[in-house]
Chains A and B, each alone.
Chain A
Amino acid sequence: MQKIMVCIKRVVDYNVRVRVKPDGSGVMLDGVKMSVNPFDEIALEEALRIKERVGNVEIVAVSIGVSDTQQQLRTALAMGADRAILVQTDTAVEPLIAAQTFLALAKKENPDLIFLGKQAIDDDANQTGQMLAALWERPQATYASKLDIAGNTATVTREVDAGLETIEVDLPAVVTVDLRLNEPRYVKLPDIMKAKKKPLDVTSLDALGVAAASLLKTVKTEPPAQRQKGVLVKDVAELVDVLKKKGLI
């Protein structure tokens, strides 16, 4: 184990209540707080813990996005990544293009493991890791909630609908992480200072030979249908009465 690549996405912060623009052209993002996608923080944390266990592992945090994405990569460096690469682009990148971009980086960096969050909390696509694994022609272990590495093999417990599933994959491999894999560390002030000196390279889709393309056109953005607020009942007897009348119990 020599190198781990962690893919990070800049997204609207978890606590922001996203609103749709009145003209239906998208969601309101002006002045909204941006953060590292929470699942990607868990991905990075796992990489850091592997480094702490086995030592001598280089951790490269990579991202695709606008110039300000450097902020999120600095956060990754402050958490403990050794260096970072930003593929700078002003246009939104769909999962397939993101996967092609990360593939180009993987071919340059030759990591033993690539970690990603299982999904980004903005588009909720849940695709990039699987697509990257396909293009890289390597194993994928998605929704990881436990990870053990022995030699050239990773044993991964996955959160699936029926419970937990365990698979074994040969490295190099792509692992996408679920919520309960770990709890990411807090960044301390000295680490933020140190992170400023760590290398952060900026490159472009062009330089990596990736053609930007919009494959799925978003033609409209709408708010979801709202549920009507219902009634309050005063006690359990009334609740049971209402449920029985509705034929629900």
Chain B
Amino acid sequence: MLKILIVGEHDGKTLNLATLKCVTGAQGLPDAQITIALLGADTAAVAAQAAAVPGVHKVLRVDRPENAHALAALYAPQIVALAADYTHIFGPSTSFGKDLMPRVAALLGVPQVSDLMAVEAAYRFRRPIYAGNAIITVEADPARKLVATLRVASFEAAPSTGGSASIETRAVAVALPSHTRYIGAKSGSTDRPDLQTASKVVSGGRALGSAENFKLLFSLADKLGAAVGASRAAVDAGYAANEMQVGQTGKIISPEIYIAIGISGAIQHLTGIKDARTIVAINKDGEAPIFEVADIGLVGDLFQIVPELQRLI
């Protein structure tokens, strides 16, 4: 039997949807028994949520005051202490998992499969390289533990109810370093859906021309109940916040509908959206590469189209 440990991502209150996607990914492994580890100051609430996910065998709670913030240097040795009983250690390919999991892998002395997008066998996986321009199949040695981050856009979220996993509290007796300290966070969070997991996304590029003009997209998004994303060019130009960036070095997303407005469609951007169910492109340049991947395209001036679109929906 394969024993999978998923490092759960949460904010102390809610289990991140990325963790539910990891559960689905782990279920693709043959004969897998899935455990979710939760580190935090008080994980009681999120542990109850994790235990309700069908297919989860056990939830491990590691509560200590130092775990209030997800610092990789503190979390990694604790994950390593838990890892002894497991064959596979998975985390989500989010900024949380990308920061933490390689540190875990190095402490275990094993390689990591980043952005695992498909399971072919217990130790055989597919992952993208070169901004998604190539997909490689990699094989790992079954004699070693397998550490991976799972590309969240590649997996549906597991249901959040119906399961009844046992919850265990674990005291992990490892000394934690004091060399890394959390200071604070500035979140651009709004009442809009989370970009990473939204089913609808409206996204803008450099053609918006200013942060002020981006308000057009926020307004359209609010009418649609959509999250708002941006191309790297728009973020670099200061029109949109960094956490809105979609693409190779930003967020990789898989919404039901992605509306790209004034985005030309650089390959690095396209790699972030190619798992979207439907892509709509609005751009004044009919030759823009975004139209090569769009399901529905409309050539024209976004400053006329967007307000009209908002009126008609």
Contacts and interface: CB of A to CB of B under 8 A. Distances in A.
Interface of A: 12, 17-20, 27, 39, 94-96, 99, 118-119, 121-135, 137-143, 145, 155, 158-170, 173, 178-180, 215-224, 227-237, 239-240, 242-243, 246, 248-249
Contacts of B138: 216-219
B269 to A, nearest CB: 13
Given A145-B242, A224-B274, A236-B305, A229 B184 contact: no
B241 A163 contact: yes
B103 A140 contact: yes
25 contacts: A12-B130, A17-B267, A121-B131, A123-B129, A125-B112, A131-B102, A140-B103, A143-B99, A163-B186, A163-B242, A166-B183, A167-B180, A167-B182, A169-B180, A179-B236, A218-B137, A220-B137, A224-B132, A227-B292, A229-B292, A230-B295, A239-B296, A240-B313, A243-B313, A248-B278
Interface string B235-256: 1100001110000110100001
Given A162-B188, A163-B188, A239-B296, 8 more contacts: A122-B129, A142-B72, A142-B99, A180-B236, A223-B133, A227-B295, A234-B298, A236-B305
Contact of A231 (B137, B180, B295): B295
Contacts of A232: 286, 291, 296-299
Given A124-B114, A164-B186, A219-B137, A96 B106 contact: yes
Contacts of A133: 73, 103
B135 A222 contact: yes
Contact of A239 (B98, B242, B292, B298): B298
Interface string B120-142: 00001000111111111111110
Chain B's interface size range is 35 or more
A140 B73 contact: yes
B206 interface: no
Nearest to B313: A249
A159 B186 CA distance: 10
A170 B179 CA distance: 5
Pairs of residues from A and B, 5 with the lowest C-beta to C-beta distance, nearest first? A230-B295, A131-B106, A130-B102, A134-B106, A127-B102
B279 interface: yes
A124 B248 contact: yes
B32 interface: no
Interface in B209-252: 224, 232, 235-236, 241-243, 248-249, 251
Contacts of B109: 96
B96 interface: yes
Contact of B242 (A131, A134, A180, A217): A180
Describe A's contact surface by its main secondary structure.
mixed
A216 B135 contact: no
A230 B94 contact: no
Contacts, number: 250
Nearest to B183: A166
A173 B114 CA distance: 23
Contacts of B104: 134
B29 interface: no
B50 interface: no
A249 B311 CA distance: 13
B12 interface: no
Contact of B128 (A121, A159, A179, A224): A224
A139 to B, nearest CB: 4
B115 A124 contact: yes
Contact of B71 (A20, A167, A233): A167
A161 B251 contact: yes
A215 B141 contact: yes
Contacts of A165: 182, 184-186
B312 interface: yes
A115 B300 CA distance: 44
Nearest to A94: B111
Contact of B134 (A141, A170, A224, A231): A224
B196 A161 contact: yes
B181 A167 contact: yes
A235 B297 CA distance: 10
Given A164-B185, A236-B305, A243 B296 contact: yes
Contact of B179 (A135, A138, A164, A231): A138
A248 B256 contact: yes
A227 B267 contact: no
A123 B114 CA distance: 9
A167 B71 CA distance: 9
A134 B72 CA distance: 9
Contacts of B297: 230-233
Nearest to B127: A124
A160 B95 contact: yes
